[in-house]
Amino acid sequence: MERLYLISFGEIALKGENRPFFERMLTQRIKQVIMPYDKNVQLKNVHGRIYCFTQAPKEKVAEALKKVFGIVYICPAVSCENNIEDIKNTALEVIKEQDYYGKTFKVETRRPNKSFPLKSPEVNAQVGAYILSNIEGLKVNVHDPDIRLDIEIREKTFIYSEKIPGPGGLPIGCTGKAISLLSGGIDSPVATYMIMKRGVEIEPIYFHSFPFTTDRAKEKVIDLCKVLAGYSGKIRLHVVNFTEALKEIGKNTPEEFLTIMMRRMMVRVADKIAEERGAKALVTGESLGQVASQTMEAIAATNEVASMPIFRPLIGFDKIEIMDIARKIGTYDISIEPYADCCSVFVPKHPKIRPAICEVHKAEEDIDVEKLVSMCIEGIEIFDVTP
């Protein structure tokens, strides 16, 4: 009897000729997260499964793998030889490891290895009967059991009773790199998570405006990056000193256009950094209609100054849905800490909600855009953030 983890991936299995590339990326990431607990971890790709052999503590393995994009679920399993007596005895041992007294169970067999002489229902019946004859206080319920015992008959037989959900998606880095405009709020960390889930490597940018916003606001964003790095591995955070740019925009722009001008400047700076860092897209946490700067017209005004696509993973989400994801991924409690960033501090009383692009151009006439972008780029702080 050998212990291992069966790791299943969903979407990757549909990748045709590119599947080996995605599997290799996933395997590398799994190894990366397990090695801090076991340098001798061994992985094996076999017919739509990754077998993970490790001596690391189960809780550490489960916690690490639950955050690996590309994994659909993880099953702590034991393996045995393909004969019915071994299967029955191993299944009995797996059940005995459960808190089984007074509970119900069922046996569910899959038989990818068609050379095995018994069919799946016959295995279910024989194993179920053997367990009932050897354990008191356990009953069968095939519709809604407390314990489901899964048996997979492959080149060996694998038996497990626990399925730990993974995040799904695609392995990090397999679809390229993007720059995420990250604030201390609820939305942008969720947007960053959502795009990482699609296999995108992220380098976030935070626009810092000390003394209008405190250093604690910057630390809050670093804390958010630590949570996100739990899913992606090390994250390189770019902190842009935005204070002087903000002063210039505030001095030379009609107040009602302040938010739009600020967003356009942020996108220009992000676009420049993306180009320097080899990124192919920008990511924002905008949700259509949520605030004045997220109307179609305002979004069009920010799109205009970008040279590359801007991805908005939350565009169709409402606030409740976004908060639910934030709680699930662990960013919510940090995001609601009371340290505001410049996007929430510099909000005009009567913002322009549906700006015509000609009005935006006119409002921007007195700003030296190139000078401000260069100033922002020169003062960047870099933080390499780990979980």
In the chain, where the domains are located: 2-165, 177-385
For residue 345, the model assigns a pLDDT of 60
**How high does pLDDT run on average in the chain?**
93
pLDDT score of 22 more than 80: yes
Q: How far apart are CA 364 and CA 200, in angstroms?
A: 33
Q: Is 182 annotated as a binding residue?
A: yes
For residue 245, the model assigns a pLDDT of 92
CA angle 160, 31, 329 (to 5 degrees): 75
Give the closest residue to 102 by CA, choosing from 69, 56, 145, 44.
Answer: 145
Tens digit of each residue's pLDDT (9 = 90 or more) over 131-162: 999 998 899 999 999 999 999 999 999 999 99
With pLDDT > 90 as the criterion, what percentage of the chain qualifies? 82
pLDDT score of 346 more than 70: no
Q: How far apart are CA 380 and CA 216, in angstroms?
A: 17
Tens digit of each residue's pLDDT (9 = 90 or more) over 178-205: 999 999 999 999 999 999 999 999 999 9
pLDDT range class, residue 385, cuts 50, 70, 90: very high
Give the closest residue to 193 by CA, choosing from 20, 307, 58, 334.
Answer: 334
Q: Is 4 annotated as a binding residue?
A: no
Superfamily of domain 177-385: HUPs (3.40.50.620)
Q: What residue has token string 């899913």?
A: 231
For residue 289, the model assigns a pLDDT of 85
Q: How far apart are CA 333 and CA 336, in angstroms?
A: 6
Q: Is 207 annotated as a binding residue?
A: yes
Q: How far apart are CA 243 and CA 240, in angstroms?
A: 9
Tokens matching residue 86: 């071994």
- The average pLDDT across 357-371 equals 93
With pLDDT > 70 as the criterion, what percentage of the chain qualifies? 98
Inter-residue contact 229 to 237 (CB < 8 Å): no
Tens digit of each residue's pLDDT (9 = 90 or more) over 273-307: 999 999 999 999 999 988 877 899 999 999 999 99
Q: Is 263 annotated as a binding residue?
A: yes
Centre a 10 Å sphere on the Cβ of residue 133 and count the other Cβ atoms it contains: 9
- 3-state SS of the chain is CEEEEEEEECHHHHCHHHHHHHHHHHHHHHHHHHCCCCCCCEEEEECCEEEEECCCCHHHHHHHHCCCCCEEEEEEEEEECCCHHHHHHHHHHHHHCCCCCCEEEEEEEECCCCCCCCCHHHHHHHHHHHHHHHCCCEEECCCCCCEEEEEEECCCEEEECCCEECCCCECCCCCCEEEEECCCCCHHHHHHHHHHHECCEEEEEEEECCCCCCHHHHHHHHHHHHHHHHHHCCEEEEEEECHHHHHHHHHHCCHHHHHHHHHHHHHHHHHHHHHHHCCCCEECCCCCCCCHHHCHHHHHHHHCCCCCCEECCCCCCCHHHHHHHHHHHCCHHHHCCCCCCHHHHCCCCCCCCCCCHHHHHHHCCCCCHHHHHHHHHHCCEEEEECC
For residue 241, the model assigns a pLDDT of 93
For residue 191, the model assigns a pLDDT of 98
- The average pLDDT across 209-224 equals 90
For residue 349, the model assigns a pLDDT of 78
pLDDT range class, residue 30, cuts 50, 70, 90: very high
For residue 344, the model assigns a pLDDT of 63
Q: How far apart are CA 241 and CA 210, in angstroms?
A: 8
Inter-residue contact 261 to 268 (CB < 8 Å): no
- Judged by average pLDDT, the poorest of 233-237, 256-260, 281-285, 308-312 is 256-260
- The average pLDDT across 332-339 equals 90
Tokens matching residue 148: 């489901």
pLDDT range class, residue 342, cuts 50, 70, 90: low
Per the model's pLDDT, the better-predicted residue between 238 and 246 turns out to be 238
pLDDT range class, residue 12, cuts 50, 70, 90: confident
Question: Is the domain 2-165 a CATH 3.30.300.20 member?
Answer: no
Strand order in the sheet with 235-241: 310-311, 282-283, 177-181, 201-208, 235-241, 381-385
For residue 280, the model assigns a pLDDT of 97
